[in-house]
A and B are shown apart, each in its own frame.
Chain A
């Protein structure tokens, strides 16, 4: 086996790992770090269940070699934290935006990236932005509603913050 050493940060914690050169980021996270939140559906980049954040951007962990993540900062669903993550969790719960749950980690990470951007999107636009995440239960209505609600919540929080600041001045 052709082994390599990878240094990377996962959910804020640094790791140095020995692994096979052919190991994908998905297998590294699941098998060596026990982070089984990300799921492997297709291993061809189509289903989106393995989506994680690498250096601030959503990527397919199944199509990213572990070796290419040298010095990278990786966030998985286990490390998804902060007000936007809370908004998404609440909204997913309220809208019943998961059925079997297999796609949920990927949905949350893709959606988190959208919500953080604070750009208003209609249902159609959310659908297109999430077209790389497949829900085989076909529960898209709830998912799109939840993401829109979290997005609007994020935007409202920004305006509230601005109003408060202006008021204080």
Chain B
């Protein structure tokens, strides 16, 4: 199918873009790479009256280091992270995550700001940026504000952004030199959306046990979830003991599921998440992704 008709604007500055968005009101929509928005417009799940295209705004496609990490323009593409055309301050996590998004042709157009504004919890950036405690810089004609990604993502395709607000930058704190990270994406074919997506961040002893660990899970709920109970189960444990079976119970607690009442489909999903978390921890443990 084809997208419905809309008014199309392609501004060249942020000022122009936010003015157009303010004029468009509730039926305006920002398009960056369009790799999620165009499909849902083609399927007529979204029918914006006005589209403000950011591909002509050069100032949004930059990346630079800051004292605490790095700041990436909203239309920095996944490919630019993958090939480190922008500085990486996460010891390889951002390039690793980017390389798993869709296919090369998708990564060449899709953008980090677009992915966060789209808020699909089975995509990479929402979970990875939430785990890193990144924040987005937002502009509108009414002013500017900064929103932590953890507060930006409210649910499926739902964010804390007002209709006239535009994400201009994503600010990512750098990882400490001693930090370890692990990430695992469960999907049947390279490039598909995740059936489960886990990110582990923390400090581990050289021979195994996690002193500190933070776990985030995507594709399990309408937004990325912090796994507090699972973290407790993992902390201080020797890696060899952390089999998926041991993670199922704390994971069920984190997901608010009752193990005694769960149906087979739910049990299968839980097992997938447990294996995904275990593999994320395993990849960090081996240090082959750090």
- Chain A residues close to B by CB (< 8 Å): 1-2, 4, 20-22, 24, 27, 43-45, 48, 51, 54, 57-60, 62-65, 67-68, 70, 110, 113, 128-129, 131-133
Across-interface contacts of B1 in A (CB, < 8 A): 43
Pairwise interchain contact B39-A132, C-beta atoms closer than 8 A: no
B residues 70-92 with Cβ under 8 Å of A? 79
- The answer for the CA separation of A59 and B79 in the assembled complex, in Å, is 12
Across-interface contacts of A68 in B (CB, < 8 A): 10, 31, 34, 53, 55-56
- The answer for the CA separation of A5 and B63 in the assembled complex, in Å, is 31
**B266 contacts A by Cβ under 8 Å:** no
Number of interface residues of B (CB under 8 A): 32
Across-interface contacts of A58 in B (CB, < 8 A): 104-105, 108
Pairwise interchain contact B43-A131, C-beta atoms closer than 8 A: no
Apart from A44-B39, A60-B105, A62-B38, list 15 A-B contacts with CB within 8 A.
Answer: A20-B5, A22-B6, A57-B105, A58-B104, A58-B105, A59-B109, A64-B34, A64-B109, A65-B31, A65-B53, A68-B34, A68-B55, A68-B56, A132-B105, A132-B191
Pairwise interchain contact A70-B106, C-beta atoms closer than 8 A: no
B135 to chain A: closest CB distance in Å?
Answer: 27
Count of A-B contacts with CB under 8 A?
97
Closest to B1 in A: A43
A127 to chain B: closest CB distance in Å?
Answer: 8
B76 to chain A: closest CB distance in Å?
Answer: 15
Q: Among A20, A59, A133, which residue has the most Cβ atoms of chain B within 10 A?
A: A59
Pairwise interchain contact A60-B35, C-beta atoms closer than 8 A: yes
Some 18 contacts from A to B, beta carbons below 8 A apart, are A1-B5, A22-B3, A22-B5, A22-B8, A24-B38, A44-B39, A45-B102, A48-B103, A48-B105, A57-B108, A60-B35, A60-B106, A63-B35, A63-B39, A64-B38, A131-B103, A131-B190, A132-B103
